[in-house]
Structure 1
Amino acid sequence: MMTSCSLVPQQSTDDVVVVDGKNVAKGRNRQVLGDIGNVVRGNYPKNNEPAKINHRPRTRSQNATLLVEDNLKNPVVKRIAVPKPKKVAGKSKVIEVIEISSDSDEELGIVAVREKKATKKKATTYTSVLTARSKAACGLEKKQKEKIVDIDSADVKNDLAAVEYVEDIYSFYKSVESEWRPRDYMGSQPEINEKMRLILVEWLIDVHVKFELNPETFYLTVNILDRFLSVKPVPRKELQLVGLSALLMSSKYEEIWPPQVEDLADIADHAYSHKQILVMEKTILSALEWYLTVPTHYVFLARFIKASIADEKMENMVHYLAELGVMHYDTMIMFSPSMVAASAIYAARSSLRQVPIWTNTLKHHTGYSETQLMDCAKLLAYQQWKQQQEGSESSTTTKGALQKKYSKDERFAVALIPPAKALLTGTESA
């Protein structure tokens, strides 16, 4: 049963609702509550008696009054009328909704005060539309950042790939590669010059092909040769002997079935005896203190080619440029093995018109940017152009071993592909 109660005095402009002597809620943009009883304020009948409300309260949208049950010790607020705030043009509106409910007949619970901000939508102007279209037409729109490809995902189940440690292994290789680089030794060699070294290395390429040795054998042979020449002067007549002994050592290290000493003596037209080759092998090992486990060019080529996601043609092109760089003394001395390997990738992609030339995946795995590779890549492109000029002027029988090796169809004749003009002209864009 409901009974009428006295009217609540008019509240202040701060709109504070008082329940049981305590401030319950406060709103800035709400009108003052006129009544918290079961009577209607204002518009009384002619007899000046307040009209009783015997029906259920109306909804909030109809500005319902509040009802209080007088049989409770503490009043329980059922509904609060929230007038609609006035709309202000150009400003975001804030709506404050206060909900008060009771969990039981003994407690008065305040649920929450929520603020909902109606954000103003950004208007699309004619200028912004024209600017977006202009950027799209000029190719200046923002491009999605290229993702780094996980090149080891296919080898997760391959124990020999050592996927868990491969990143640490190559970080170690790059950190120690400078320790095993040959120094500039031509000044300390009285009887040897750069051209003689070039002829020897190209002859070793020919021997390497005839014995069908692995690529890593060739790169280790050149590393042993240069490191030995860096620490000990060699007479001109013994230079080929050093090359033969270095090839024998690297074959024993890398190959399952290395060539025999007699085979090496035979291919050198018996210029050196069996004993001379073995004595020189011992001399080289003593000078190098038996250090043969070194990060050669091939170590980095294997990883960088995988990062470039190359096909067979691209792979042969990279090896051609890398061997071309190893053949020349200035490239071998000026740049580290990882730099030459990465530059061979860059020059090969430029020659074969790969787009983009340098990807984020290559940058991540090689550790080099395009700017860092530009000097070495230009040098390789120049050596490639010079090799082709010399090959075109000579007959097929007098071509160098490297040119003949990579002019065959089985290697996609990559030696005949011209270098990128951008690298020859000195510009960085293809």
Structure 2
Amino acid sequence: MPSVRGRRGLVAAALNVPVEQQQHEEQEVSKSKRSTSPCLGVPKLKKRRALVDMTNAHKVHISFLGRKKKKKKQQEVKKTSSPSEKSQAEQRSSTSESTEGKSSENDEEEKEEAEEEAEEQAVCHVEQDLVTSEVPVEFDVDSENRDDCFMIPEYAKDIFDYLKSREEKFVLQDYMCQQPSINAEMRAILVDWLVEVQENFELYHETLYLAVKLTDHFLARTPIHRDSLQLVGSTAMLLASKFEERDPLSVDNFLYICDDAYNREQFLHMEASILQALSFDIGIPVAYHFLRRYAKCAGVGMDTLTLARYFSELSLMDFELVQERSSLLAAACLLLALLTKDLPGWPPVLQFHSGYEISELAPVVRKIYSMVAQPTSSELKVVRSKYSHEVFFRVASLPLVDYDVLEKTLEPQRFPLIQL
């Protein structure tokens, strides 16, 4: 059996091709192919940089702010060149240049300058959009979390400013006049029951707040019968759990807690009705988010924050406070908690981050104070019993701040200092 080395002669003989002619042809093929190609017969390709000609990248002009300055410096250097250099350049230049060529060069230079100015303005515009709001050093509460990527200290203030601006889209009015079959007392009973559902299923507090918001916004747009009020609240809690929870509740959970008063088809139909009524925009800012932010800005303890949460959760049942913005309500609850704990009322850092002064908070603080001091119904005890537990520092049993002390903080001009 012939070796591999000797097979070339056999194949050439079988094809009646002289060996010398075959070697000559192989040399020509090896010359024609690219050195980097491992295969024979591959046509020679034009070299190009990666990802240049695949799209319209060759049409994109990347501008740099320092480019125009460099060109100006080069022009100044040319102007300050020695007379000998100028004379040499004049000698090298052709004297047969026409006026048309000069005008075209001037036009090209003007176009380049106009493009550079437009690019520089565009870059400046982008940089201004990317600049975040500066926070004074004395009001900087996020620098301590600079190394924590989960706290995103660079965008914390911008996020809450955005949430506060978004509240304008979800301002509620007194909608009970549009509801012929329900009233504020029925709504309070429903919210009290939703608090119990949140506690039994150990849901997030954000889920409870969002469920109440969804219920109010749906009732503000759609008149319902009193028999469907619990269905609306249950479906709102179902939607809120899908929005906030890691492991949301199912329809079967609500079928059980409603004692089979409604069926699955009714839940699914109500879920679609709520989403369509709210145009699928259910990311509503709630007071619980702002409470945590304001408590961090004030640097208060967990007991003070829990007391403010207790006031805020009680306010969910009061229909008079439905019309208040969540950020304003959270600030008023925290102010009342600070005064109850005998802490400084409203420091400048809270005024800076919340955007509210004491004069703006005073009416809401008085409403919350009267609501806590004089409960309207003895049947609505779920919130009070919840915050009477030791897990919540038994804040429901704490005595409220004296009314005179409260008024001195809200309106200090009414209580002038007595000089002895």
TM category, shorter? 0.5 to 0.7
Provide the C-alpha distance between the structure 2 equivalents of 1:317 and 1:408, rounded to a whole number of angstroms: 12
For 1:348, the equivalent position in structure 2 comes to: 337
- Give the greater-gyration-radius structure (CA): 1
Question: What is the CA-CA distance between 1:344 and the residue it aligns to?
Answer: 0.4
For 1:401, the equivalent position in structure 2 comes to: 382
Aligned: 1:420 with 2:401: yes
TM-score normalised according to structure 2 size: 0.63
Of structures 1 and 2, the one scoring higher in RCO (CA 8 A, sep 6+) is 2
Question: What is the CA-CA distance between 1:194 and the residue it aligns to?
Answer: 0.6
- Distance change (3 Å), C-alpha of 1:425 and 1:165: closer
Provide the C-alpha distance between the structure 1 equivalents of 2:338 and 2:406, rounded to a whole number of angstroms: 17
1:338 to 312, 327, 330: 327
For 1:223, the equivalent position in structure 2 comes to: 213
Q: Counterparts in 2 of 1:370-381, with a 5 A limit?
A: 370-381=358-369
Provide the C-alpha distance between the structure 1 equivalents of 2:336 and 2:289, rounded to a whole number of angstroms: 19
CA contact (8 A) 2:207 2:240 kept: yes
Q: Deviations over 1:70-100 (max 9, x none)?
A: xxxxxxxxxxxxxxxxxxxxxxxxxxxxxxx
When you count helix as a share of all residues, which structure comes out higher? 2
Provide the C-alpha distance between the structure 2 equivalents of 1:323 and 1:208, rounded to a whole number of angstroms: 12
- Distance change (3 Å), C-alpha of 1:424 and 1:328: farther
For 2:235, the equivalent position in structure 1 comes to: 245
1:315 to 305, 310, 318: 305
Q: Counterparts in 2 of 1:26-41, with a 5 A limit?
A: none
CA contact (8 A) 1:156 1:163 kept: yes
Q: Counterparts in 2 of 1:40-189, with a 5 A limit?
A: 148-189=138-179
CA contact (8 A) 1:186 1:192 kept: yes
Question: What is the CA-CA distance between 1:405 and the residue it aligns to?
Answer: 0.5
Q: Structure 2: where are the runs of 5+ without partners?
A: 1-135, 413-420
Q: Deviations over 1:134-157 (max 9, x none)?
A: xxxxxxxxxxxx983432122111
SS in 2 for 1:232: coil
Provide the C-alpha distance between the structure 2 equivalents of 1:327 and 1:390, rounded to a whole number of angstroms: 11
Aligned: 1:362 with 2:350: yes
Provide the C-alpha distance between the structure 1 equivalents of 2:269 and 2:258, rounded to a whole number of angstroms: 16
SS in 1 for 2:150: helix
For 2:291, the equivalent position in structure 1 comes to: 301
Provide the C-alpha distance between the structure 2 equivalents of 1:421 and 1:201, rounded to a whole number of angstroms: 29
Overall identity of the aligned pairs, in %: 33
Question: What is the CA-CA distance between 1:418 and the residue it aligns to?
Answer: 2.1
Q: RMSD value over aligned CA atoms? A: 2.0
**Number of residue equivalences:** 276
Q: Deviations over 1:88-147 (max 9, x none)?
A: xxxxxxxxxxxxxxxxxxxxxxxxxxxxxxxxxxxxxxxxxxxxxxxxxxxxxxxxxx98
Question: What is the CA-CA distance between 1:370 and the residue it aligns to?
Answer: 1.3
Q: Deviations over 1:299-330 (max 9, x none)?
A: 21221121121212111101111111122110
Q: Which runs of 4+ in 1 moved over 3 A?
A: 146-149, 423-430
SS in 1 for 2:310: helix
Provide the C-alpha distance between the structure 1 equivalents of 2:191 and 2:229, rounded to a whole number of angstroms: 11
Q: 343-352 vs 290-299, which deviates more?
A: 290-299
For 1:24, the equivalent position in structure 2 comes to: none
What amino acid is the match of 1:409? E
CA contact (8 A) 1:381 1:424 kept: no
Q: Deviations over 1:371-411 (max 9, x none)?
A: 11111011111111123x866xxxxxx66110110011111
